[in-house]
Amino acid sequence: MEFFINKFSTLPILKLELIQDGRNDFRKFYDQIQNANITFSMTDIITGIKRIGKKTTGTSLLTPENCMGEQYYLVYQFSQYETTKAGRYIAQFEIDFLDGSGTLIVPIHNELYINILDAGIKK
């Protein structure tokens, strides 16, 4: 998965959809995520240096008009400081469930790449 943001920008907000995988207990998962600590980390691919290390973030609920049910997104809004260095980064969300059921690293199957583009408005 690729995400693009301009240098010195705070928008767009990074949104990663939590997908229903067809299990019968997906509703339980959505209940659990309401009682969890969610953090975001981002590491420079070339240097291996963390640009953002376990910064607290949250979820966003979207109720579609077509009555398909609720959809949850993991969200993160970058600060201008976090986007000052153009480059390619690998990122992840870490969900630490407070009910003792463990920790989940997201995304599970694919890598999440953050691309900070140098072509921005100069101040």
Q: Residue 63: what pLDDT?
A: 59
Burial class (CB in 10 A: 0-12, 13-18, 19+), 25: exposed
Domain ranges of the chain: 2-117
Q: Residue 61: what pLDDT?
A: 73
Residues 74 and 106 sit within 8 Å (Cβ to Cβ): yes
Residues of the chain with pLDDT under 70: 20-27, 62-70, 120-123
- Give CA–CA dist 91/74, Å, rounded: 13
Question: Could you give the dihedral angle defined by the CA atoms of residues 83, 111, 94 and 106, in that order, rounded to the nearest 10 degrees?
Answer: 130
Return the CATH architecture of domain 2-117: Sandwich (2.60)
The pair phi, psi for residue 53, each rounded to 5°, is -120, 105
